Structure 1
Amino acid sequence: MTNSKVGHRIEELTTPAFLLDLVKVKSNCQGMLETCKAMGVSLRAQTKTHKTVEGAVLQTGGSRKGIVTSTIDECEFYADHGFDDILYGYPLIAHHMPRISALTRRLEKFHVMVDSKLAVETLIASQPPTGKTWSVFLKVDCGNNRAGVWWEDEESIILAHQLGSYSSLITFRGLYVHCGNSYYAKTDVEVEKVRDENIERLLNFVDRVKERGVTCETIGIGSTPSCKKPSDNMKKLDELHPGNYVFLDVQQSTLGSCIVDEIACRVATRIIGHYPKRNQMLIDCGFTGLTKQGEGMLVTGYGIIRDNPNLKICNMTQEIGYIEPLKGKLDFEKYPVGSLLFIFPWHSCATAAMHSVYYVIEEDKVVAEWKPTRGW
């Protein structure tokens, strides 16, 4: 007996339910592939937004090659489903090594990321599988202030040189920069400024590494806001690695990466109560179905309710959301108890992580179910 909802109408789903518009997902994935092709760079697609086989197949144009993940669980999941050329895009620590070794052994191309002298020493002290070397990217921080060696520091150049000096153990693949600071931009112009500054700093770092006699085979940047706004200087790179573009979200619309109509995901929720005395109604989607990300960023609350610009998600508990109008009185007859509303989330990555199945829809019917991997 199966619990599959394929073939069912949206109205038949238990809510809250995470919905994917298949036409928009395909369009978003194809658009990024075409952007990279036009610039002559490779796309190493980040899978962390969706963590599904189906999504990664679309991101890679069906090749199942050239992805970057955020967890070892994802690496193993994709390896199990025929993917290769996988980068574990997370700072390496010694605890990871048994699983890193197994993935290096089984895949033609498996890469790790380092951002410290300790991580490099961990690799040097570990024997790679027979016939293999550790394939390594150095993560460089060009302003995001998260992980990565700082682009200006001489110690960072020394570390890159060290990676290029152990050819019997390490194959130094190149440099990886995440333009995460683009998410702090307020306008299109600011996004472009962050993008260009990151590229300029990265290329400066590359030149300094070359002066030490070390070649960076691959240099790349990521983040959907920066990669959705391609520029001529991106042609100087080898690789882009955005991820959120697959689904997009309300945050991306505020950054100019998309318009709301291009957002491929939404959460279906039902109205569960009317409270005229306080001019509110309740829905069956709390923070475990949507997350509270975006608080304070939108006049409409934690997301945008499709086709209802006057409605605001003003609060959430674990399983319940509170909705009130931005102005005036609620017309409760317009919103019967049990009827559906649809929420475009502020951050699709976080919202998707709340759901164990994604209902893929065409028009108002479920045509597939995508089940993400979970864990670390």
Structure 2
Amino acid sequence: MEESRLIRARARDNCSATASPVIPFGIEEMMLSFGRNYVPRLVSTLRTPAMLIDVEKLQNNCKKMQDRCKHMNVALRPHMKAVKTREVGCFMTNGSRQRIVVSNMAEAKFYADGGFDDILLAAPITQNKLESARELMSQLDAFHVTTDNMTVLNAIARTPPADGKRWSVVLKLNVGSARCGVEPSDPAALQLARAINDSTNIKFAGVYAYCGHCYDYSRPDEISKAAARVKNKTTAFAKRLESENIECPIVGVFTTPACTFATCDMTGVTEVHPGSFAFNEFDVVRTGACSEEDIAVSVLTTVVGHYPKTGHMIIDAGWTAISVHKGDDDVGFGRFIGAPELRVTKIYQEVAKVESISGHLNFQKYPIGSTIRLLPFMSYAVAVLHPVHYAVNGDLVVDEWMPVKGW
């Protein structure tokens, strides 16, 4: 616990000069903050399959979102579920290691031990996680949990918080995604807010509105309108709470596409919580919020064999390396860098079948044992699968980042 506090203090000292989103947090500052001195190696020396992160693209992606939030005059609380490592978390918070979102308790503990603070658990907490949450309360200056029902709220109220602290509870709202959360118009929403606010050992921390349904749209104007609806519903509810003398410090909204295309007045919103922006992926490309050139993650894979009779070759990256997620026929499981004619046509656990969209695969161009790089359809799914994330600059591996695993 004391070590993580020292890490947070060291991060603030080392990164104070890069706190503004105008000056992007860099690989040197990140490695300094972790006290590391990595000896670069060639990408060609890696055993495949391997997940690669283009550090320059990562930096650029993070700076774009930081500048976008500055323009909207809202705080950025980036979502760590999309990246899974402390190092990328440093880039996303511009070196501060402050104000992040996580999806599960393993992530919360992982980032807390890495010197991060002001952590919000976005997935509604359950009774069997309260003891672990209480331990994190004592470790952190600020740890927030979310709920959307009275059953769990009553369990929180019955659980003593860490010494000298109160539970910090955020009300999860459903503003269109219909996944979890209570609708602002539902009387239960106000009842829950009142119950949280009236509890002696709970502090009402605010509201959190997930808007994954913004990914359902593929035109900027559609996403902009959806974002405006999310913002208006959320801030209207926050105003209603204030009229009931319930302070609402956190009013959090949006995803990466919503942040990118929102044109509404952001008055009343305190923070946004996108995550995909750091790596980007084809699902974000489809919305227009980034281009294929902005995708920072690729999977290095080796050609295993040629099969001329059936016109395909096999690579050593199956669904355990590139995930089962796929887009439309044009993208599929992803696109190969420098080989636009290739597509993954069938995927197995440890290998995948690759064919040419022309129907005539040039086997000489891709010898057995050679490597190619795939931009996967869903970067954050790949981040979950790989045991090591290799940070690369051109043909060099400049660092190795270990992701959090489990729940």
TM-score range, shorter chain: over 0.9
- The residue that corresponds to 1:343 in the other structure is 374
The question of 1:91 aligning with 2:149 is answered no
Higher alpha-carbon deviation: 232-241 or 306-315: 232-241
Name which of 236, 241, 244 aligns with 1:212.
Answer: 244
Q: Would the aligned equivalents of 2:73 and 2:266 in 1 still touch at CA under 8 Å?
A: no
Residue 5 of structure 1 and its aligned partner are, at CA, apart by: 9.2
Distance 1:155 1:243 in 2: 29
1:132-171, CA deviations, whole angstroms, 9 ceiling, x for partnerless residues? Answer: 11111111010101111122211111111211112x3111
Q: Distance in 2 between matches of 1:46 and 1:132?
A: 25
Counterpart of 1:368 in structure 2 is 399
What is residue 234 of structure 1 aligned with on the other side?
266
Q: Is 1:358 aligned with 2:389?
A: yes
CA distance in 2, matches of 1:235, 1:22: 34
Q: Which runs of 5+ in 2 are unaligned?
A: 1-36
Of 332, 335, 340, 1:309 maps to: 340
Residue equivalent to 2:319: 287
Q: Could you tell me how far 1:34 is from its partner in structure 2? A: 1.6
Per chain length, whose mean CA-contact separation is higher, i.e. which structure has more relative contact order (CA < 8 Å, sep 6+)?
1
1:260 paired residue number: 292
1:67 alignment partner AA? I
Is the counterpart of residue 187 in structure 1 residue 238 in structure 2?
no
**Residue range with higher mean Cα deviation, 237-246 or 23-32:** 23-32
The normalised TM-score by structure 2 is 0.88
Displacement after TM superposition at 1:310 (Å): 1.8
8 Å contact kept, 1:356–1:372 = yes
**Deviation above 3 Å: which 4+ runs of structure 1?**
none
Say whether residues 1:319 and 2:350 are aligned partners.
yes
How much identity, in percent, do the aligned residues show?
Answer: 35
Corresponding residue of 2:33? none
Query: In structure 1, what is the equivalent of residue 158 of structure 2?
Result: 125
Report the equivalent of 1:34: 67
Alignment partner of 1:276 is 2:327: no
Q: Distance in 1 between matches of 2:267 and 2:190?
A: 24
Corresponding residue to 1:152 among 175, 178, 185: 185
Amino acid at match of 1:220: G
| Aligned-partner residue type, residue 114 of structure 2 | H
| Contact 1:282–1:322 (CA under 8 A) maintained in structure 2 | yes
Question: Is the 8 Å Cα contact of residues 35 and 230 (structure 1) preserved in structure 2?
Answer: no
SS state at 1:236 partner: coil
- TM-score w.r.t. the length of structure 1 is 0.95
Q: Which residue of 1 aligns with 2:111?
A: 78
Equivalent position to 1:17, from 39, 44, 50: 50
Task: Indicate conservation of the 8 Å contact 2:337/2:375, yes or no.
Answer: yes
Query: What residue number does 2:141 align with?
Result: 108
